[in-house]
Structure formats: C-alpha cells, structure tokens
Amino acid sequence: MQSILQKKSFILALLFFLVSLTILFVLLSVIKGSEVKYKLAEEKWQIENAKREDMGTLKNLLKEVDKEKSLLDSHFIQNPDVVPFLTTVENLAKKVNLQIEVASVNVNEKEPALLVGVKTSGSFGNIYRFITLLENSAYDLVFVSADMKTIEDGLVNRVSKLPEWVATFEIKLLSFMK
C-alpha cells in the first residue's frame, strides 16, 4: 500500500510540477512580451522627447532669426512701400542742406528694380555728401546716371559765397521686390 501511496504522491507531485512549469513558461512569455512592449514604448518616448527638444531648439532659433529677418527686410522695399524710400532720400538731402525734387519714379517691368529720378540744387560739397549718404544707406543702390553743372547765371549762395550747383540723378534701387 505504501508503494501505491508513493506512486500517487509521485504522480501528484509530478503533475503539480508540470502545471507549475507550464505556469512558469506562460508567465515568462508574458513577461518577455511586456518587456518587448516596454522597450518599444521607451524607444517611442525617446523619439518623441527628442522631437520635442528639437522643436524647442527650433523655436529659439526662429526667435533669434526673426530679429535678423526683420533687419534684413528693412533693407528691401516692396511695391507699395515706395513712399518711405522717397522720404528717406528727401531726408538725406535735407540733412546736407540741399533742395530736392523727385522728378520720376518708374518700376522696371523686366527686372525687380525701381528707377527714381532726383533733381537737387546746392553747393558742390553738399551734393557730394548727399551722394555719399545715399551710397552708405541701407538700400542697395546703383547710380544709373548723374549730371552735375553750375547754374548758368553764376548765382552765388549768399551765405557761403560758393556757386550753386544743380545735379540730376537717376538711381536704380536694386533691393526692390514686386
């Protein structure tokens, strides 16, 4: 009887062992699956975190570049913004005590350029300073033509006792966008 009891105990222990072993393998496969899911989720999180950091860096870079862009845009004139450019030219002439008259404003159809005709009068030195101020302005300019001559009547400026000069310029504004 003891051998039957030992056999039953052995079979029961073996059965319990096999059930435990089966549960162990099932749990191990569930753990492995969870580990794979965890690694995939962690990789996805790291990618999203890197994207978020890149977006933050990009936002900061755009803020820095925005200041430079507005400065660069101030050097270009768009079609409706011709008046501020003409005001700048007139202010530069007044700065060096010249009388100025804008004779013509033409938009070149073939290329993005603005042609401005200007007539000034004053002393030779003031006209020269005006040209220098225009060349050193924030705009990209080219003098297409320039004609300078003294007034034929030989008029002399009452204050400086220098002869009056008349200059006619045609200025091509290259930093112009249609």
pLDDT surpasses 60 at 28: yes
CATH number for 77-177 (one of 3.90.226.10, 1.10.760.10, 3.30.70.60, 3.40.190.10): it is: 3.30.70.60
Mean pLDDT across the chain: 83
In the chain, the N- to C-terminal Cα span, in Å, equals 110
Comparison of pLDDT for 107 and 148, the residue scoring more: 148
Least confident stretch, 26-35, 94-103, 109-118, 143-152: 109-118
Domain spans of the chain, in order of start: 1-73, 77-177
Least confident stretch, 16-30, 106-120, 156-170: 156-170
142-143-146 Cα angle (round to 5): 180
pTM of the predicted protein model:
0.53
pLDDT of the residue at 74:
61
Report the percent of the chain where pLDDT is more than 90: 38
Comparison of pLDDT for 62 and 39, the residue scoring more: 39
pLDDT of the residue at 96:
92
Q: What is the mean pLDDT of residues 102-115?
A: 78
The token pair that represents 10 in the structure block: 């052995």
Residue among 83, 86, 80 at smallest CA distance from 178: 80
pLDDT of the residue at 163:
77
Residue among 67, 91, 98 at smallest CA distance from 165: 98
Comparison of pLDDT for 167 and 71, the residue scoring more: 167
